[in-house]
A and B are shown apart, each in its own frame.
Chain A
Amino acid sequence: MLAYYFELGLRSLRRNPMLTALMVMAIGFGVAASMITFSVFRAVSGNPIPDKSSQLFTPQIDNWGPQQNLKGEPPDALSYTDAMALMRAHQASRQTLLYAVHVSVMPGGSRSLPVGANGYAVYGDFFPMFEVPFRYGSGWSTADDDGRAAVVVLSEAFNQKMFGNTDSVGREITLNGHDYRVVGVARHWNPQPRFFAAFDGHDFDEPSDFYVPFTRALDMQIDTWGRNSCRGNVDFSTRDAWLRSNCVWVMPWVELDSAADAARYRQFLESYAADQQRAGRFGWAPNVRLRNVVQWLEYQKVVPPETRISLLVALGFFVICLVNTIGLLLAKFMRRAGEIGVRRALGAARSEIYKQFLVEAATVGLAGGVLGLALTALGMLGVGLLFQPQIARLAHLDVSLMAMTLLTAIVATVLAAFYPAWRAAHVQPAWQLKSN
């Protein structure tokens, strides 16, 4: 019977082509607008490291005080002094500090023109903590961190650029005029948004080219390529004065396996800040935070407001399209009141009428979904015009989005059809037959 209703539905689509076209277009446009904006939203609001996001935390310590902090919140990164103190205390199972660096390399040897490369200065724990996959070799050890070793991990793409598609582990690479030994080549790895460096705000950048030891980068006086934020007096006659200042630029991460570990680490942060207060460095009570990846991304407002607004407006648009569809379906179904009367008089149950009209609505929804799919595919080409390129390139039409487009269109149309179908099912057969 359902197959027959489906056939009836198709036939009915052809019967009032104008009305049908209106409904199909409304659903198509509505679902396409929602899916295009949703694909962008999905890309920027995803969890970049789902299986570990609740074990990775970024500690914050207020070294600015109530008058200069961020409306009561501690700064979003650590000063060099506090960052090094956390590393020395070593209260987490794994821990790293990091900052963005930019260096020059000579891809074609010393006679070529230099090019820039972007990377991060990190500790050896960075790689296992953030589950960086390796193609060749591995990260470096704690001994390398302590020994301030001149080692480097390259990204696959950067390795390709510098060494061709070969295993470069053990070879030397010159960064900023100094030699580093390659210890590993990471497979393509670019978590989006780049949660671990959200302080810098380059959340959707291209993957970084390399990673060098934090300790080595400091020795080589490679400055941060990312943000640096200070309070009070910033007269620095030397670089060391800047290092000792309250300027925050170091991004810290710790791995804590259980809730108990996290609670213990929070206590440690409190006691560290209390020590600083006792020592006279902080003139205020401890003000610390320990946020995990999801909380951190939320707090840093990584999802651009435009993406949310677009999604909300598109959803509102879809709702209006559905209200429109309810009205048109009502008109379409009620036009056939006579036909319904005949069926009911011949003994069809109300449920049969429901079934027939809901199946017919599903047919409309399917047609709308197909149009929506075409429009979504078309819209994906134009996404670059609507959103920033680095965000737009993250949005794509994959199988799950295609399935979602069709499903949303059908389910929404069937839901919209409930009221018109109810009205159709309650047509009084006697009255219809009489008026005929």
Chain B
Amino acid sequence: MQIKPILSAMRHHKAGVMLIALQIALTLAIVCNALFIIQQRLAHLSEPTGIDEANVFVISNQWANQSSEQQTDVQIQADMAALRRLPSVRDASPSDSYPLRGDGWDDYIMLTPEQTEKTTDADVYLGDEHLLDTLGVKLIAGRNFRADEVQRIGSRQNVASPVVIVTKALADRLYPDGSALGKSFYEMSKTPSTIIGIVDLLQNQSVGTWKSAYAYQSVIRPLRQDNSDGTFYIVRAKPGQLTAAMREVPKALYAQNRMRIIDPKDGELSFAEVRKQAYETDRGMAILMGIISVVLLAITAAGIIGLTSFWVGQRRRQIGVRRALGATRGDILSYFLTENLLISVGGVLVGIVLAIGINLWMVTQFEMARLSLIYVLIGVVVLLLLGQGAVLAPARRASNVPPVEATRSV
């Protein structure tokens, strides 16, 4: 196949060639970035939380009467005892928050008491000695809290906990040599907190972009607090009994004391619902980018078919002449395929530059990651194949032009 005649033929319909190339370039630029966004969002929403998601649910409990903090604490303990007695419940713990909640409490972590700049940042989970079992997180070193280590604090009060459990991610950040157990740190306090246990994985309360530098870094403190944001009761049902437990738990709580608020709409959430809400935006973005990519590719393919069909129609005489002079059907077919390939390669080259340019601009605007070249490569292959596929039908029609066409006038 000779390329030179194809190139000189292209010069006769520059506009069409440029338009197809431009369309391929723009499509490549957008599809690469869309695919990359899809991959990023899907990766984000499939990050594990480290907890027993199938059986955990959360009650958001607020008190309806302002009683003293001691009374509230007594009530929380009575609630816990009642919940743990339920046949469908495996364990329960009060806490200030839960993974993927959206909002949350995070503290600066320092290695020395004099530091003003933080060493790192960690989410704060409060709970009693039942919290680890309730969440179903795995203790990989050290021990759990003892009941006598669990303290009570009032709203807006705060004192450093002498003993804490941390996630492996935080332990490794603070003591990269793996020696964290038994060591201490300072959590916005002059008093040290000693690490008595390390858990494997526990996701943050918020999974927003700003949190990605502190992913999975959490501190668990042995505290029961009457937090003004409400106290969360995290409950773990026995395997397969989630529905029963979610029905029984609010009843049991109201039986304990009815002066409490468990919002009928979102006061009780299974972890599946929590996860769904936490990643709504990510899922939506992935779907939108998916739809746009598919429609875009379809439209580009349709555009190529349309213009090539027009060219074939225009050149029926010339094709007839070539056929009469001895060109085979295969020659005509490969002429159009090669022509399309040349245009596509041109478009793709411009598209690569555009794709990377758009990504670099988005990095500065939207805290996005750098586009991995794999996606550019996938985009290039997809578009080249798409071009060849789209041109196939009009090219076939061209190859079917009979040699006698050469003698006909239009």
- Residue positions of A touching B, CB distance < 8 A: 18-19, 22, 25-26, 29-30, 33, 37, 67-68, 102, 104, 106, 113-116, 176-177, 201, 221, 223-225, 227, 230-239, 242, 304-306, 308-310, 313-314, 316-317, 319-321, 323-324, 326-328, 330-331, 334-335, 385-389, 419, 423, 435-436
Contact = CB atoms under 8 A, between A and B. Distances in A.
Contacts of A309: 37, 285, 362, 366
A30 B26 CA distance: 14
A33 B290 CA distance: 13
A387 B23 CA distance: 29
A388 B22 contact: no
A388 B281 contact: yes
Contacts of A37: 288
A167 B305 CA distance: 68
A26 B16 contact: no
19 contacts: A29-B299, A177-B66, A233-B188, A234-B158, A234-B188, A236-B156, A236-B157, A305-B209, A310-B285, A313-B34, A317-B295, A319-B26, A320-B299, A327-B19, A330-B15, A330-B310, A331-B309, A389-B280, A435-B410
Contacts of A113: 254, 258
Interface in B229-259: 229-230, 254, 258-259
Given A29-B299, A104-B63, A386-B284, A235 B366 contact: no
Given A233-B190, A310-B285, A316-B26, A328 B367 contact: no
B201 to A, nearest CB: 26
A327 B155 contact: no
B292 interface: yes
Nearest to A112: B258
B299 A324 contact: yes
Contact of A320 (B23, B65, B159, B410): B23
A330 B22 contact: no
Interface in B179-234: 188-191, 209, 228-230
B160 interface: yes
Interface string B128-159: 00000000000000000000000000111111
Interface of B: 15-16, 19-20, 22-23, 26-27, 29-30, 33-34, 37, 62-66, 103, 107-108, 116-117, 154-160, 188-191, 209, 228-230, 254, 258-261, 263, 280-281, 284-285, 287-289, 292, 295-296, 299-300, 302-303, 305-307, 309-310, 313-314, 362, 365-367, 410
A327 B16 CA distance: 6
For the residues of B in contact with A, the DSSP-based class is helix
B157 A324 contact: no
Contacts of B19: 323, 326-327, 330
Nearest to B295: A29
A239 B410 contact: no
A67 B116 contact: yes
B65 A327 contact: no
Given A309-B285, A386-B285, 19 more contacts: A18-B306, A25-B302, A30-B299, A102-B228, A104-B63, A113-B258, A177-B64, A223-B155, A233-B188, A233-B189, A239-B154, A242-B158, A306-B281, A306-B285, A313-B289, A317-B296, A327-B23, A385-B284, A387-B280
Contacts of A308: 365-366
Nearest to B209: A305
Nearest to B41: A306
Contacts of A106: 64
B51 to A, nearest CB: 23
Contacts of A22: 302-303, 305-306
A324 B300 CA distance: 7
